[in-house]
Amino acid sequence: MSVTYEQAADGSGINLDGRSVCIVDDDNLYRLHLSALLAQANLRTLEAGDSDSLAAVLEKEMPDCILLDYNLDSENGFRVHEQLKLRYKELPPVIMLSGDESQRTAIKAFRMGLYDFLPKRNLRMDEITLAMKKSIARYEVEASRDDEVSSLRKKALFDDLTGMYSREELDKKLLLVAAAARRQNSKFVVFSICLAEYRKICTNFGVANADEILRGFAARIRANIRSDDFCGRYDEDTFHYVIDRNVSTPVVNERLARLNEQLTFSHHLKSVELQISPVIGAAISSEFAGLQQMEQYLATELGDRRKALETQLGGEDWSTLPAAAGPGDPRERRRSTRMRTLKPAYIALEEWSSKINCTVRSVSDGGARLRLERQMALPEYFLLKITASGQLRRVRKCWHVNDEVGVEFCE
């Protein structure tokens, strides 16, 4: 749908019939009430009670709009929104609903990039639908503008994220190299270099952090290519590095060894250390009928090497580590033995500057059991420091009963 700026201002260009909206609220009765209200406008509703169930909904289907409660039990709606923006490149418009009708909360919502802010008390259907129409219209105008910018970027000489040649420029240069090789009866080699875990980093740590790592990865490639070679960004997580001078088996082997060595590194992300490894394939032109056949071979080669790397790493997922057994659960579900201990520690919440004192009751390589000084709500992820000289580590809450908390280390 093509929506003008004038239509975006009043929502007149948007028809809500058949559109989907996800209602995120920890109050089951309110969700049912809102769902019944929106059904009168022929809207299809999805429901979530917290950030985890919302993530599950978004993985299956991306709605046209999200209605997000400001206060989700122990979660803050602003924080949930920030996590969504980091995780999804194309997040639909988010409208905040709140029982807190203060002007300060509304101003903060708009400053943080939410599309609208509506008080929950006496909320009418026409008020919700108008806010949704305006938000969806504005979103479609912005998406159209982004598509136009993206089209211009594709025509650009360089990729703006990595500083490498763009895909279009890379294809042009490859065609010229292939034509020259045919005329001179010479050969060239294409290395396909992939940041294999880019998509997993996007999922677990957000697009912004993944792009930061991709920029560093690209900078390492640039630092290790010869002055008469060239390299470009082939797709989201893959680069093509081309050598068309002095191509020989020793040169190819030397380049492969150097790239594998220099592109294997550690990246520190807050308190988590990520181990980055490349997946590299190589194709020499003399072994193929043309560029298309070379690209097909490289795609297959990279797919096989990805699987081999996953097998080598044991398929470990940064955000899915062994769950800790809760209090009173006699079953041992840990990969490593937990040792009884009694150590002072503190919890640091990333959005707060204050610290929460606690005691570590037992600890293993995979996680720990904590006792708080008093009962309080904790987010799913937070930072933990065991003893004054210990390392500040990011952890995930596995269970929480009264003042006892089980966590796993996120590294």
Tokens 């990805």, residue?
Answer: 306
User: pLDDT tens digit string along 147-174?
Assistant: 776 666 666 688 888 988 988 899 999 9
Same domain assignment for residues 297 and 371 = no
Query: pLDDT band at residue 339, thresholds of 50, 70 and 90?
Result: low
pTM (2 d.p.): 0.48
Query: pLDDT band at residue 232, thresholds of 50, 70 and 90?
Result: very high
Same domain assignment for residues 165 and 139 = no
What DSSP designation does 374 have? S
Q: Under a CB-based contact definition with an 8 Å cutoff, are residues 174 and 240 in contact?
A: yes
Q: Under a CB-based contact definition with an 8 Å cutoff, are residues 245 and 186 in contact?
A: no
Residue 171 is assigned to a structural domain of this protein:
yes
Same domain assignment for residues 214 and 145 = no
Same domain assignment for residues 348 and 226 = no
Same domain assignment for residues 230 and 258 = yes
What DSSP designation does 273 have? E
What DSSP designation does 49 have? S
Same domain assignment for residues 85 and 145 = yes
The three-point CA angle 121-125-130 to 5° equals: 105
Calculate the dihedral angle through the C-alpha atoms of 24, 27, 33, 39, rounding to the nearest 10 degrees: 20
Query: pLDDT band at residue 180, thresholds of 50, 70 and 90?
Result: very high
Same domain assignment for residues 202 and 272 = yes
Distance CA 109, CA 96 (A): 7
Asked if the model's pLDDT at residue 68 lies above 90, the reply is yes
Sign of CA dihedral 266, 269, 270, 272: negative
Distance CA 257, CA 390 (A): 37
Tokens 């490349």, residue?
Answer: 278
φ, ψ for residue 170 (rounded to 5)?
-60, -45
* CATH number, domain containing residue 403: 2.40.10.220
Residue 358 is assigned to a structural domain of this protein:
yes
Q: Give residue 271's pLDDT.
A: 55
What average pLDDT score do residues 119-148 get? 87
> What tokens were used for 323?
């769950």
Query: pLDDT band at residue 325, thresholds of 50, 70 and 90?
Result: very low
Query: pLDDT band at residue 316, thresholds of 50, 70 and 90?
Result: very low
Asked if the model's pLDDT at residue 120 lies above 60, the reply is yes
- Which run of H or E residues covers position 109? helix 103-111
> What tokens were used for 237?
């997580």
* CATH number, domain containing residue 171: 3.30.70.270
User: Cα separations (Å) of 13 from 40, 101, 141, 193, 360?
Assistant: 20, 29, 11, 45, 58
* CATH number, domain containing residue 86: 3.40.50.2300
Q: Which of 312, 327, 362 is the last residue of a domain?
A: 312
Same domain assignment for residues 165 and 291 = yes
| Intra-chain end-to-end CA distance of the chain, in Å | 44
* Strand ranges for 245-338 from DSSP E: 265-269, 272-276, 278-284
Q: Which of 125, 152, 179 is the last residue of a domain?
A: 152
Q: How far is CA 219 from the centre of its chain?
A: 21
Residue 199 is assigned to a structural domain of this protein:
yes
Among candidate residues 215, 223, 224, 228, the one with its CA nearest the CA of residue 257: 224
User: Cα separations (Å) of 233 from 157, 236, 257?
Assistant: 11, 8, 21
Residue 331 is assigned to a structural domain of this protein:
no
Among candidate residues 355, 353, 380, 316, the one with its CA nearest the CA of residue 83: 380
Q: Give residue 216's pLDDT.
A: 92
> What tokens were used for 156?
């650009």
Strand, coil or helix: 318: coil
Bridging pattern class, strands 44-48 and 20-24: parallel
Residue 330 is assigned to a structural domain of this protein:
no
What DSSP designation does 389 have? T
Task: Give the range of the structural domain holding residue 262, as residue numbers without chain letter.
Answer: 155-312
Same domain assignment for residues 37 and 175 = no
> What tokens were used for 265?
């590194």
Query: pLDDT band at residue 1, thresholds of 50, 70 and 90?
Result: very low
> What tokens were used for 17?
């019939």
What average pLDDT score do residues 279-291 get? 90
| Domain count for the chain | 3
Q: Which of 98, 121, 152 is the last residue of a domain?
A: 152
Q: Give residue 112's pLDDT.
A: 86
User: pLDDT tens digit string along 45-66?
Assistant: 999 999 889 989 998 999 999 9
Distance CA 132, CA 253 (A): 58
Task: Please state, rounded to an integer, the average pLDDT across all residues of the chain.
Answer: 82
Higher pLDDT, 310 or 401: 401
Same domain assignment for residues 210 and 135 = no
Count CB atoms within 10 A of the CB of residue 229: 15
Same domain assignment for residues 18 and 90 = yes
Q: Give residue 265's pLDDT.
A: 87
User: pLDDT tens digit string along 349-393?
Assistant: 755 556 788 888 888 778 888 888 877 777 888 888 887 667 888
Same domain assignment for residues 146 and 187 = no
Q: Give residue 318's pLDDT.
A: 45
Distance CA 141, CA 14 (A): 11
